[in-house]
Amino acid sequence: MMVLTYSCMRRLCSLASQWCHQSRSECRRRLSIAAFLHSFKKRHYHIVSPGHVSPLRKVPESIPKPLYALNGSDDVVPREAEVKSAVQIAGMRRACALAASLLQFAGSYLQVGMTTDEVDRAVHEKCLARGAYPSPLLYKGYPKSICTSVNNVACHGIPDDRPLCDGDIVNVDITVFYEGFHGDTSATFLIGHVDEAGQKLVEVARRCRDAGVAVCRPGTNLRGIGKAISKCAEAEGCSVIPEFCGHGIGEYFHGPPDIIHIDYATTGKMRAGMTFTIEPIVCEGLPDFKILSDKWTAVSSDNSRSAQFEHTVLITPSGVEVLTL
């Protein structure tokens, strides 16, 4: 589950001229041309609007919960990017392994005609059965245990009663709080027969995430992640939403560093022991979005589709370890 932070917005606003070594206006000009051409293509997918959201699911008292689920207070978050101890790293590995297994389950569970609320229920129950808490539930008021973002929903889609249709693409974002640590991952799945453009978008999104992961190692500037992602997306005529960031993660859900998925100027460097998420949202149209009245669901302004893949990674002394495989 990604984050739209004040620090991300402030930093991006101050770096308007920094986007892949070009002016933002030039980059937007090229993306506008691509989006204009895209608008003439026949649409092979449904435009999604929010449906009915079912009541909150219950969590037994016996399941350990993060502070925000216990009493509504904020997580205790470090002021700077945390370098984790061996004990903390072991805890992260366990939480991330569980998140990855639940995502694999969700992907195998999806089918045409199923509602995203049914997927939420299934993952919720599996999570509790493993003694874990579904991290999104009650985080800043979020009402469900996972996020499900379909077609033109960029992120933070709330599971509801809309049935999945043949040709949909759906991102399922799963985070668990397990034995004191959060593990966060997501993937975009094809529902039934998806058109070639949708299949390509999903594959490009996967490659963009992997390109960001590939540059990670101690001493490397955090900027390299966004630079690699932008290069990969633009080579395929796609764009990346810059405002939604990856984030540090551990005993807290969201913390430093902010991982911005476009090229930008920063002096922050990766250090062994850091854990954070890489989760770019890749769009077939422009990277513009709006937040709906539920204050969570982000949809594309031009109704184009987006796809997203996410890993939680650990910076090791010799490179990077993907914790959510």
Please enumerate, by residue number, every residue annotated as part of a binding site: 156, 173, 184, 247, 254, 279, 310
For residue 39, give both structure tokens: 């608008």
Paired strand residues for 188: 171
Q: Could you tell me the maximum CA-CA distance found in the chain, to the nearest angstrom? A: 55
**Feature table: binding site for a divalent metal cation:** 173, 184, 247, 279, 310
* Those residues with Cβ within 8 angstroms of residue 125's Cβ, 6 or more apart along the chain or in another chain: none
**Sheet of 239-240: strands edge to edge?**
239-240, 281-283, 306-308
Please report, in range form, the residues annotated as the binding site for substrate.
Answer: 156, 254
Instruction: Using the structure block, give the residue that is written with the tokens 């249709």.
Output: 165
R_g (Cα) of the chain, nearest Å: 19
Helix, strand, or coil here: 105?
helix
Query: How far is it, in rounded angstroms, from Cα 313 to Cα 277?
Result: 6
Residue closest to 92 by CA, chosen among 4, 213, 2, 179: 179
CB contact at 8 A, 183 and 323: yes
Identify whether the C-beta of residue 286 lies closer than 8 Å to the C-beta of residue 42.
Answer: no
For 134, the enclosing helix (H) or strand (E) is strand 133-134
- Secondary structure class of 174 (helix, strand, coil): strand
d(Cα 273, Cα 291) in Å, to the nearest integer? 34
